[in-house]
A and B are shown apart, each in its own frame.
Chain A
Amino acid sequence: MSKDEAETGAREGASRRGFLRAGLAAGGAALLGGKAVAQTAAGDPANLPPNVADWSRYLGEGVAVRAYGRPSEHESHVIRRDVEWLTASRESSVSFTPLHELDGPITPNGLCFERHHGGIAELNPQDYRLVLHGLVDRELVFTLDDIKRMPRVNRAHFAECAANSGMEWRGAQLNGCQFTHGMIHCVMYTGVPLRVLLAEAGVKPTAKWLLLEGADASGMTRSLPMEKALDDCLVAYRMNGEMLRPENGYPVRMVVPGWEANMWVKWLRRIEVGDEPWYHREETSKYTDLLENGTARKFTFVMDAKSVITSPSPQAPINHGRGFTVISGLAWSGRGAISGVDVSLDGGRNWRPARLDGPVWGKALTRFYYELDWDGSPLLLQSRARDETGYVQPTKNELRAVRGLNSIYHNNGIQTWHVTAAGEVENVEVS
């Protein structure tokens, strides 16, 4: 049964059940479809103690009705979103991970942000080929089965678009961490170390750079230094255990830990080994960082230490009023592991260490919490990440002092949320 057939079957099952249940619950509260969703906000007193809810009386759906499970319909708002005015076409565009609705360090596969330059390439794995050529002893072609037979490793790493927070260089613009920080995901990748593949071909001593190329219509290419290729790069085919999603490069993508996600070439079809970088469009016209004096940085590969409070945030206001409150957020660094996160309630005047919880992997999202008894007074919330190299996340103004306003990429400045007495939250900047 295909996924579509499974979904159709699940829907038909649901509607048949709905008919039965509506008939059985004479004049009762059918909890189906839009009705159930509409009741979510207010709830239904008939389901509350001492009453016994329908789900405690009647059988639910059986096994494998949901052959590929999906989230509860009450979570249907937890989705990728895009901002139409950002780009000229949806095929070369970006969607954003709903960070404000997630917890822990791992991103669910179906919610990982997308960034395509020529739409989603739909490859048949039988027709997948990876060509490895150039300054090697043996120029090779690999099938997907070849790659799956190689020794593999599991690594959780964040993939952050170089343009994440890029719309915020000139000031507070987008109202929600999904939009200001959501060009990022972190999953557990399974793949082959790139150096294992290179060893199959035998790299010549003159080799200094690799060209990575995707199979999509944008022909995505980036130049990768050999030192990084031999260090920790993966040729990955699984995310969180299952095969990559088409929008994330099925069946094979590059994982370049800690480096800007533009280099994580999806639908990887070709690796050329050479002695010089290629200076292609994605490392000249794009992914170069213009400074105030008109010169530009090139090859700004590493994503620096960064953090954001995901809740409360503009899309996740404080609804419970004053009292015990959990501040939750994410921190990450392309230079290694997060060594700590500090939280400020007063716009950066005073800081307290947050509590890191869950695995603290290098070059991966790290979850932090800061608990407080909120007295209902307005807050100017900030978080500040530190990494194991001693780098401390700068303010936006400290970044602007070095780079100006037109770098587009690599904005890792400290984010401020203004929490009002009513618990509403806004993206602001402070003096």
Chain B
Amino acid sequence: MSKSREAPASARPLILAALAAGAIVAAGALLPTSGRATEATGAIRTAATTDGAHPDLPTGLGLGRAAAPEEIAGWDIDVRPDGIGLPEGRGSVLEGEEIYVMQCAVCHGDFGESAGRWPMLAGGSGTLDSHDPVKTVGSYWPYASTLIDYIYRAMPYGNAQSLSANELYAVSAYVLYLNDVILDEDFELSHENYADIRLENEANFFPDDREAAEAHFWREPCMESCLPGTAEITMRARALDVTPEPGQGPTVD
């Protein structure tokens, strides 16, 4: 399959990946070590097939062929928060309502409130710090781009990639209207203004901070008399008894 490449593979020098990759080493080596390894560690661990470090492997193989622009265009439908990837099109809240009622409401409810256990799309504003947070497009999602990207690639459930670009903007506009992000039902979204939409929860996400916020989990383990008194049972699965019969509980969608 290398016929479209300039040179046959056999004529190319093989380059060692390790040289190209520079100082990349096993992830474990980048982390602090405790120097407290138990007797089991050093004795049993087999070096050759552990962790991530890969041997020096040949690259520049001449495998694969050039991708044609139209091939990439057919599959590259992703959209980023800065608007890169938005398809050309436009649609209004009112146009979106019609499509939503036909294609989406059976699962997500007429107003994004959800039917049964299908995902809620609207509501829940101000609940994120409560005992029962309601995480929807309006209350939780950081970027409107995720909405149009996800509808484009995966919705309607069971008939993905079936909406036209204009329908995508219209449905997205309607969902944003249900979430009070767009207030005017005549408002028209398009590839020209979509990236200007801002959602209220954007600022409330931050990168993984476990190594700082949970630094106390890197510690010397207690072995004897670690807690006072005797342990008392505080919760029992049998009291709930939902294993694995149908019932109500948290979702993992």
| Interface positions of A (Cβ within 8 A of B) | 81-89, 91-94, 117-118, 131-133, 138-143, 145-147, 149-151, 153-156, 163, 166-167, 169-176, 179, 193, 195-196, 199-201, 211, 213, 217-219, 221, 227-228, 230-232, 257-258, 269-270, 272, 274, 276, 278-281, 284-286, 288, 290, 292-302, 304, 314, 335-337, 339-340, 342, 346-353, 355-364, 380, 384, 386, 388-394, 398, 402, 405-406, 408, 418, 426-431
Please give, as numbers and ranges, the residues of chain A lying within 8 Å of B230 by CB-CB distance. 346-347, 349
Interchain CA distance A406-B251 in the complex, whole Å = 12
Binds A, one of B97-105, B186-194, B241-249: B241-249
A285-B141 Cα distance, complex, nearest whole Å: 6
- Closest-CB distance, B76 to chain A (whole angstroms): 7
Partner of A298, one of B20, B57, B79, B207: B207
Assess the A146–B1 pair: CB atoms within 8 A. yes
CB neighbours (8 Å) of B49 from chain A are: 154-156, 359, 361
A336 touches B51 (CB 8 A): yes
Q: Are B240 and A350 in contact (CB under 8 A)?
A: no
A199 in contact with B15 given A278-B78, A349-B226, A389-B218 (CB within 8 Å): yes
Residues of A within 8 A of B31 (CB): 335-336, 389
Within 8 A of A (CB), among B192-210: 204-210
B75 touches A340 (CB 8 A): no
Nearest CB of chain A from residue B164's CB, rounded to whole Å: 17
Question: For the complex, what is the distance from the CA of A398 to the CA of B158, rounded to whole Å?
Answer: 41
Bound-state CA distance A361–B5 (Å) is: 39
Contact of B53 among A232, A272, A351 (CB under 8 A): A232
- How long is the Cα–Cα vector from A349 to B226 in the complex, in angstroms? 5
Chain B 1-46 interface residues, beta-carbon cutoff 8 Å to A: 1, 5, 15, 17, 20-21, 24, 26-28, 31-34, 36-38, 40-41, 44-46
- In this assembly, does B88 line the interface, its C-beta being within 8 Å of a C-beta of chain A? no
Q: Which of B140-171 contact A (CB under 8 A)?
A: 140-143, 145-146, 149-150, 153-154, 157-158, 160-161
Given A82-B244, A402-B213 in contact, is the A195-B21 Cβ separation under 8 Å? yes
- The closest CB in chain B to the CB of A88 belongs to B117
Shortest CB-to-CB span from A339 to chain B, Å, is: 5
The 30 listed contacts between A and B (C-beta, < 8 Å) are A88-B251, A91-B157, A131-B67, A140-B65, A141-B71, A147-B63, A151-B61, A153-B57, A170-B250, A172-B237, A196-B17, A200-B60, A231-B52, A270-B76, A281-B149, A292-B129, A294-B128, A295-B206, A296-B204, A297-B209, A297-B210, A304-B217, A339-B34, A339-B37, A349-B225, A351-B226, A390-B34, A392-B217, A402-B213, A430-B234
Which A residue sits closest to B145, measured CB to CB? A279
Question: Could you tell me if A297 and B143 are in contact, using CB atoms closer than 8 angstroms?
Answer: no
Q: Is the interface of B mostly helix, strand, loop or mixed?
A: loop
Please determine whether A217 and B244 come into contact, CB atoms closer than 8 angstroms: no
CA distance A357 to B116 in the complex (A): 47
Contacts of B36 in A (CB 8 A): 339, 390
The chain A residue sitting closest to B130, CB to CB, is A294
Complex Cα distance, B241 from A133, in Å, reads 50
Could you say which residues of chain A place their CB within 8 Å of the CB of B146? Answer: 279-281, 284-285
Measured in the bound complex, the distance between the Cα atoms of B235 and A418 in whole Å is 11
Q: How far is the CB of B221 from chain A (nearest CB, A)?
A: 5
B-side interface size class:
35 or more
Q: How far is the CA of A83 from the CA of B246 in the complex (A)?
A: 7
Q: Among B63, B72, B234, which residue has the most Cβ atoms of chain A within 10 A?
A: B63
The answer to whether A348 touches B226 (Cβ under 8 A) is yes
B150 to chain A, nearest CB (A): 4
Residues of A near B27 (CB, < 8 A) are 228, 231-232, 257-258, 335-336
Q: How far is the CA of A55 from the CA of B1 in the complex (A)?
A: 54
Q: Which residues of A contact B20 (CB under 8 A)?
A: 195, 199
Is there contact, CB below 8 Å, between A430 and B60?
no
Query: Known contacts A174-B243, A297-B208; is A85 also within 8 Å of B249 by CB?
Result: yes
Residue in B28, B38, B54 whose beta carbon sits within 8 Å of that of A362 in the complex: B28
Pair B129/A427 contact, Cβ less than 8 Å: no
B107-132 contacts to A (CB < 8 Å)? 107, 116-119, 128-129, 131
Complex Cα spacing A279 to B79, Å: 9
Name B78's contact: one of A211, A295, A314, A427 (CB within 8 Å): A211
Of A195, A221, A388, which contacts B17 at CB under 8 A?
A195
Q: Please, how many angstroms separate the alpha-carbon atoms of A327 and B218 in the complex?
A: 26
A427: chain B residues at CB < 8 Å are: 236-237
